[in-house]
Amino acid sequence: RTELAIKEIMSSGGAEDDIPQAERKTVTDFCYLLDKSKQLFNGLRDLPQYGQKQWQSYFGRTFDVYTKLWKFQQQHRQVLDNRYGLKRWQIGEIASKIGQLYYHYYLRTSETSYLNEAFSFYSAIRQRSYYSQVNKEDRPELVVKKLRYYARFIVVCLLLNKMDVVKDLVKELSDEIEDYTHRFNTEDQVEWNLVLQEVAAFIEADPVMVLNDDNTIVITSNRLSETGAPLLEQGMIVGQLALADALIIGNCNNQVKFSELTIDMFRMLQALEREPMNLASQMNKPGMQESTEKPARRENPHKYLLYKPTFSQLYTFLAASFKELPANSVLLIYMSATGVFPSGRSDSEGPYDFGGVLTNSNRDIINGDAIHKRNQSYKEMHCLHPGDLYPFTRKPLFIIVDSSNSVAYKNFTNLFGQPLVCLLSPTAYPKALQDQSQRGSLFTLFLNNPLMAFLFVSGLSSMRRGLWEKCQDYLRKINRDIAQLLTHSRSIDQSFLQFFGDEFLRLLLTRFIFCSATMRMHKIFRETRNYPESYPQLPRDETVENPHLQKHILELASILDVRNVFLENTLDDY
C-alpha cells in the first residue's frame, strides 16, 4: 500500500525517472515512519488502562518513532514539500499526536512535567499556524481534527492552570465552530457547542476571585508546593507509610465537567500532585538553598481517573491498584458520587445495609437519584457499599467520600488491623449554600483550596491579592497547629498518625480538621448532617472543637472582617 502511494505521490510531481535516488529514498523513509507511527499510535488504545508495567515498553517504542518522524520532517522539509507535497496541517497532525502522547504519559504516570511537554507541542501548533490552511480545503474531517486539537489543548491548559490561554483558546474554538457549521451544515454542531458550554462552566466554577491591583484575576495553584504541607517537627511520632496509588472517582449527576473530568475530580487530582518542576526557575528561587539538603523529592502518587465507572470497572481498577501497591504504601480512594440509600428496612446493621455511592448502570438513571427498585429484600446493585471495600482493607487504605450518603461509610469495621481512615463529607448543606453544588462540592473545595472555601462560606466572592497572601500565611500557621494537636493527642486512633508521615495525606488530614472546625463554628451550619465525620472518630475536644483552633479560626475571620458569621463561644453551645 505504501509503495503504491509513494509512486502515486511522486508521479504526480513529474516524471518518476527524473527524481534523484536520494530524494526518492527520503520520501520512502518518511512514508514508512508515518505509517509506523500511525500504527503504533492506534495500538495505544488496545493497551490495558490499568496495571502500571505492561504499557511502558509500547509507549517507549511509540515515542521513539514519533521523535524520529518529527526530526526527519524538520531535516528534509524541502524535499518533502517538493516531492511528497507535505502540507502544514500534516506537520500539525504529527505535533498534535506527540502532544497527545505526552498527555497520556502524564495520565499513566501522574508526573506533571509531561503536561508541560504536551503544552509546548500544542503551543507550537498554534504559534506556527500549522492548521491555518485547513479551512481552505473542502474537507470537513480535517476541520474536525483542528477542533479536536483545540479541545485537547484546552484540557492540558486547564490542568496547568493556564486560564489566560484557556480563555483565548475558547474564543478561537468558538469562531472555528461557527465557521465549520456555517460551511458544512453538519450534524455535530450541537455537540461542539456543548463542548464550549462545558469549558465555560468549568472556568467559572471557582466561587471566589482573587484580584490584582489592576483587577486582573490571579491564577492560584493548588498543587503541593515546597511550603504546602506542615513540616513534621521534632518529637512528632508518625508512621512511615507513603501514598503510592489513588483512585479518583466522579459520578455526580449534574456537576460541571469537561472531557471526562468533573470539577470535583479535577480539584482532588491537583491536591494529590506536586507543582510541576521547572528546573530553570527553581535554581534562582530565593530561599531554595537549604532545600538541597533535603532527601530527593518524591514522585507524585500514581492515579486512576474514573468518570462514571460501572461497578465492574471500578472493582477492576481497585484490584489492579491493590495488587501493585508496594510495601509500606497507602492506597487512596476518593469518591465524589450521588448517594444510594437502602430501599428496604433491614433488621441487621451490616456493611451492605446502609447503601453507599452510585456506580454507573450502563442505562439511564431516571431522575438522577431514583435507582431501579427491585424486590425490597435485595441490596442495591449499582452501588459501591462499604462492604465492597472490605477485601482491600488488608493493606493501608485511606478513603474520602463526598456524597449525600457518605455516612454509610461510618459503619466500617477494621477487620485486618491495617491502618484505615475514612473522611466523610456532610450529607447536606444549609439551604443558603445548596445552589452551588453544580459548581463542585464544598467539602472537596476545602480539601483542595481551604482558603477559597472559607471565603465562600463567609459570603465573600472576591479579594485583593495582598490580603489573600496574608490569609494564606495565617492558614499555614493554623495547619502547623493542627498538626501539633493531632500528634500530641492522647486519645486519637493510631491510624491517623500512621498516615501522617506522608505529605499529601498530612495536608488532607489538616484541611479536613480545619473544614470540620470551621463548619462547627459557622452560624448557619447548625445540624449534625452539616458537619463532616470520620471513621475512626476524631477526639473532638482535642481536634475539631479545640478552643485553641477555634481562636485561630476567629482570628482568620477577623483579618477578613467576617467574624460576625461565626459563633464566638462555640463550646457553650454543646
Do 433 and 383 have their domain in common? Answer: yes
User: Is 357:335 a contact under the CB 8 Å cutoff?
Assistant: yes
Q: Is residue 218 part of a domain?
A: no
Same domain, 83 and 187: yes
Q: Where are the alpha helices (DSSP H) in 376-464?
A: 431-434, 442-448, 450-457
Contact present, 420 and 354 (Cβ < 8 Å)? no
Closest CA to 383 of 340, 445, 444, 332: 340
Query: What are the CA-CA distances from residue 421 to residues 94, 275, 322, 325, 540 (Å)?
Result: 46, 26, 16, 17, 16
235 part of a folded domain: no
On whether the CB atoms of residues 43 and 59 are closer than 8 A, the answer is no
Same domain, 259 and 142: no
Residue 316 to residue 446: CA distance in whole angstroms:
30
Are 309 and 202 in the same domain? Answer: no
| 111 vs 376: which has the higher pLDDT | 111
Answer yes or no: is pLDDT of 522 > 80: yes
Give the count of alpha carbons within 13 A of 113, CB side only: 5
pLDDT tens digits for 406-452? 999 998 889 999 999 999 999 999 987 756 788 999 999 999 999 99
Residues 34 and 182 in one domain: yes
The residue range of the domain holding 404 is 242-272+299-338+354-361+379-565
pLDDT of residue 279: 36
Given this model, what pLDDT does residue 553 score? 97
Are 321 and 190 within one domain? no
pLDDT at position 431, please? 87
Residues 266 and 383 in one domain: yes
What is the chain's length? 574
Among 207, 233, 255, identify where a domain stops. 207
The verdict on 262 and 395 lying in the same domain is: yes
pLDDT tens-digit readout, 505-519: 999 999 999 999 999
Structural domain contains residue 215: no
Residue 287 belongs to some domain of the structure = no
- Has residue 557 been placed in a domain? yes
Q: What is the side-by-side strand order in the sheet with 329-337?
A: 302-307, 242-251, 329-337, 397-402, 420-424, 533-535
Of the residues 164, 181, 207, the one at which a domain ends: 207
Asked if residue 544 and residue 489 are part of one domain, the reply reads yes
Do 162 and 266 lie in a common domain? Answer: no
Q: What's the mean pLDDT when you consider all of the chain?
A: 86
Q: Which whole number is the average pLDDT over 156-183? A: 92
Are 117 and 247 part of one and the same domain? no
Spatial distance between the Cα atoms of 475 and 318, rounded to a whole number of angstroms: 34
* 399, β-bridge pairs: 333, 422
* Residues β-bridged to residue 213: none
Q: Please state the rounded mean pLDDT for residues 86-101.
A: 94
Write down the pLDDT at residue 343: 75
pLDDT at 294 over 50: no
Same domain, 246 and 123: no
Of 181 and 375, more confident: 181
pLDDT, residue 349, reads: 77
pTM comes to 0.90
Residue finishing a domain among 207, 223, 254:
207
For residues 219 and 262, give the distance between their C-alpha atoms in angstroms, rounded to a whole number.
Answer: 20
Ramachandran class of 158: left when φ > 0, alpha when ψ lies in -120 to 50, beta otherwise: alpha
pLDDT at 495 over 80: yes
Q: Which has the higher per-residue pLDDT, 523 or 350?
A: 523
Backbone angles phi, psi at 315, to 5 degrees: -70, -35
Judged against a pLDDT cut of 70, whether residue 49 lies above it is answered with: yes
Residue 373 has pLDDT above 80, yes or no: no
pLDDT band at 369 (very low <50, low <70, confident <90, very high): very low
Confidence label for 32 from pLDDT (cuts 50, 70 and 90)? very high
How would you label 469-483 residue by residue, b for 16+ Cβ within 10 Å and e otherwise? eebeebbeebbebbb
Over residues 343-368, the mean pLDDT reads: 73
- Predicted confidence (pLDDT) at residue 555 exceeds the cutoff of 80: yes
Please give the single-letter amino acid code of residue 486.
L
Per-residue model confidence (pLDDT) at position 47? 86
In a domain, 430, yes or no: yes
What does the pLDDT look like over 216-269, one tens digit per residue? 888 888 888 877 778 777 667 778 899 999 999 999 988 999 988 999 999 999
Q: Look at residue 153 and tell me if it is in a domain.
A: yes
Domain CATH number, residue 416: 3.40.50
Structurally, the chain folds into a number of domains equal to 2
pLDDT of residue 496: 95
Helix (H, G, I), strand (E, B) or coil at 356: strand
Does position 8 have pLDDT exceeding 70, yes or no?
no
Q: Per the structure block, which three cell numbers stand in for 415? A: 477487620
pLDDT(283) > 70:
no
